[in-house]
Chain A
Amino acid sequence: MKADPAGVLTGTHYLDGDFACGEGAMAAGCRFVAGYPITPSTEVVERIARRFPRMGGIFIQMEDELASMAAVIGASWTGTKSMTVTSGPGFSLMMENIGLAAMMETPCVVVNVQRGGPSTGLPTMVGQADMMQARWGSHGDYAVIAISPCSPQEAFNFTIDAFNLSEIYRVPVLVMMDECVGHMTEKVIIPPAEAIDVVPRRLTAKPPGEFLPYRRNGNSVPEFARAGDGYRFHTTGLTHDERGYPVMSAECQDRCVRGIVDKIRLNADKIVRYEEEEIEGAEVVVVTYGITARVARMGVDMARQHGIKVGVLRLVVVWPFPEKRIRELASKIRAFVVPEINYGQIVLEVERCAAGKAAAIPVSHMGGGVHDPNDIFRAISEAAK
């Protein structure tokens, strides 16, 4: 369906990434946000708190991030699209209930405007070191989707995409921004509502007696019933059968875990999204995401001026990871160069998929700033030798 015009601020704006992300959420139909203040993400909810009362939305500032994430799941079970926003330390606290959202198969969006870590780290300065936490941070086996914008325009667009993916797959979708994108101000074009596609919460057509909240066929996503519609269903964070009832057995565990992981893993081809540039004939491919994708551009240009054939693969959806594509490229190229504002996270995934057929070279920046493009250029030159 098309977006509800009440949430769409159509026009050409000059916005920072945080504000643009908030506008994306409202355009996507988000009408419940719970959050706890944390730099550098707070502007997202400040924007929403100002605009929500005019469109039937509720923002509540909770007592902490544990509560924020729990409230988001509760609200989502009413069919109201819901989101929370945070940065590293709050993201750690949310892990508990991100696991619950994955287990209960609750559509929701979590925005992480990454700053330098670990611990309190660099509250006002950039980092990209929560990428592995995004994938593995909660205990047990589960799957999520993570998307990484590199500009305020993308913060707007990708937040809408995040909501749509969360509805399609009934999964928490993580918008992995970073402080640079969050605080960078650029032109953002918000199209008219009728030009924005949104996926509404699809409710089961089955009557209450026939509905089973966790019945799935193969890798399909179960049908949804919302609280208050007479279904009187049960949902739990315990291992459960298709009725949603807890069953403590290895067999049920097997079905339950495979169900929540495989709906993402086996549909990865439909979810994976990346952009490529000059990959044909490249000796070296730079794999990058977020703000680093923009910084890497200068290093890539310098390398090309020196005659090196270098391509770029920019991850839009980071999780699920484009395993197949990296595997294909690995047999054609000499090396991947992976600049990240962390001590090497996504490079590990590249290395795993390259499986020794091509080198995976990290270019690490510990955070607090972006890379010096010369460092990326040097890594590309070394890799091409």
Chain B
Amino acid sequence: MSTILEEDSVTIEEHPISPFIRTDRMPHIWCPTCGIGTVVKCYATALAQSGIDLDKVSIVSGIGCTGRVAGYMKLDGFHATHGRAVPFATGLKLGRPELLVTVFSGDGDLVGIGGNHFIHAARRNMDLLVILVNNFIYGMTGGQNAATTPLTAKSSTMPFGNFERPFNLPHLAACCGATYVARWTSLHIRRMTKSFKEAIQRKGFRFIEVITPCATLYARLNKLGSGLDLMRFYHDNAEIRHGADTRELDIEFQDKIICGKFIDEERPTFLDMMHEHYGKTLGDKYVPMPPEGGWIHE
């Protein structure tokens, strides 16, 4: 039973993360029960708790449902081309090394069309925090098969079920050299926030996958019920196994989801390696890019 309250009897409080959101852009485009908003909230909370100077935080997205995050967060936000968020972010970071650059995008964007950029940025240990929302499908375009669709799951372009082996993303990131690798579902609000906070404080290529299957298309095509049913599924089937062997993190259709922090190590970043190497080979002649960037002015 719901009750309708009179407007003057309601105290309107500001949402705790509204300072991080372009509230003039609300309502957002995400479907009811979609997990992307939850991931945004966790990231905003982590930024707030980390105490970082928000003027120095840039966020880059590609194209797709998660690609809209860069436009909804009140940070310097760049909505780039499909698949190119990581190289765009690479340019931002190298153009002004003092920035914290976060890439916030979906599976189709980052490891489908953008897969090549993803592996190379990890190989270079480019100083980027990469948050990947994995919805198992191409959501914005109507539920087509993705590089992450579990075997046998139905998609609009695999109407009889997917027969392509999907990526195991934490393993892919770890193999290519990521220094921080974690996976959560959108149910793991507290742990995900902690992971984001930890990753904000680390350096190098940090990769966090958040599982949140598309509640509209993936769930409907596979008869998985509502968004709430998906949450129940995470609750019953997510297993936290910190430090698990990343080879064992495949996601099978409607099977358990191994979550946790798998990699957390320190290795010199692209910029660290560059400074050290040029310092060694060029000595005094080496002039590093200043932290505030290469902006030339009078």
Contact = CB atoms under 8 A, between A and B. Distances in A.
Interface stretch (B44-52, B89-97, B208-216): B89-97
Contacts of B248: none
Interface in B255-298: 270, 274, 278, 282, 285-290, 292-298
Interface size class of A (residues with CB under 8 A): 35 or more
Contact of A75 (B76, B95, B274): B95
Contact of B288 (A1, A56, A72, A80): A56
Contact of A81 (B56, B87, B294): B294
B84 A66 contact: yes
Given A78-B96, A245-B71, A63 B120 contact: yes
Contact of B88 (A4, A71, A232, A233): A71
A100 B76 contact: no
A225 to B, nearest CB: 8
Interface in A1-55: 1, 4, 6, 29, 31-32, 34, 53-55
Interface in A195-219: 198, 200-201
A60 B121 CA distance: 12
Interface residues of B, number: 53
A4 B91 contact: no
A89 interface: no
Contacts of B90: 34, 60, 62, 67, 70-71, 74
Interface stretch (A234-242, A265-273, A328-336): A234-242
B87 A67 contact: yes
A223 interface: no
A200 B94 contact: no
A62 B123 CA distance: 12
A262 interface: no
Contact of B91 (A53, A66, A70, A234): A70
Given A53-B287, A54-B286, A71-B91, 13 more contacts: A32-B94, A56-B287, A67-B90, A71-B87, A77-B95, A78-B293, A82-B95, A99-B81, A201-B295, A228-B98, A230-B55, A234-B70, A235-B78
7 contacts: A34-B87, A54-B285, A60-B270, A75-B92, A227-B96, A234-B22, A246-B79
